[in-house]
Amino acid sequence: MSSNAETRPPLPPFTRETAIEKVRLAEDGWNTRDAAKVSLAYSLDTRWRNRAEFANGRDEARGFLERKWKKELDYRLIKELWAFGGNRIAVRYAYEWHDDSGNWFRSYGNENWEFGEDGLMVNRYASINDMPIKESERKFRWPLGRRPDDHPGLSDLGL
């Protein structure tokens, strides 16, 4: 349990249903692009590997997210449960964004998550590849923010 008694349900050990819920909550949070809010899902001493960048602690994670969303404009993300067990969840995801020159990308990734008993993420290991796309090839066209419940997921989109 973290020292300041924060909790972030659902709590481990995860069932299939609670793992799916945890994944959707993470997707929803990241789609806000609010680094301060999103960082609250991580333990104070969280450890991240994101591509070749490392973050140690919630403050560094928040700084990473602030930099990310200044570069990755009009960011829209879909996450999907891959596997789970105990206090760990593996996800696959894709997100679309453009740079400040208007070049569009679809980034594909996998993450391994480990949670404390308080439901805060302690470890996050992400591997991501970027694929240039044309604006006309975009598949994530909902208004910025939470993905609508009726929008197809990754498997439905063939991603």
Which one has a higher pLDDT value, 146 or 2? 146
- How far apart are alpha carbons 156 and 126 in whole angstroms? 23
Report, at the CATH architecture level, how domain 16-137 is classified. Answer: Roll (3.10)
Q: Please name the amino acid found at residue 37.
A: K
At 2 the pLDDT is 43
- How far apart are alpha carbons 78 and 67 in whole angstroms? 20
Q: Is the dihedral of CA 8, 14, 18, 24 positive or negative?
A: positive
- Tens of pLDDT, residues 105-115: 999 999 999 99
Terminus-to-terminus CA distance in the chain, angstroms?
36
Q: Tell me the percentage of the chain whose pLDDT exceeds 70.
A: 97
Residue 122 clears pLDDT 90, i.e. is over it: yes
Task: Kindly state the average pLDDT of the residues 45-66.
Answer: 97
Task: Kindly state the average pLDDT of the residues 117-133.
Answer: 98
Task: Kindly state the average pLDDT of the residues 37-61.
Answer: 97
Residue 1 clears pLDDT 60, i.e. is over it: no
Q: How confident is the model at residue 83 (pLDDT cuts 50, 70, 90)?
A: very high
Residue 68 clears pLDDT 80, i.e. is over it: yes
Domain ranges of the chain: 16-137
Task: Kindly state the average pLDDT of the residues 17-29.
Answer: 98
- How far apart are alpha carbons 35 and 40 in whole angstroms? 9
Q: Is the pTM of this model over 0.85?
A: yes
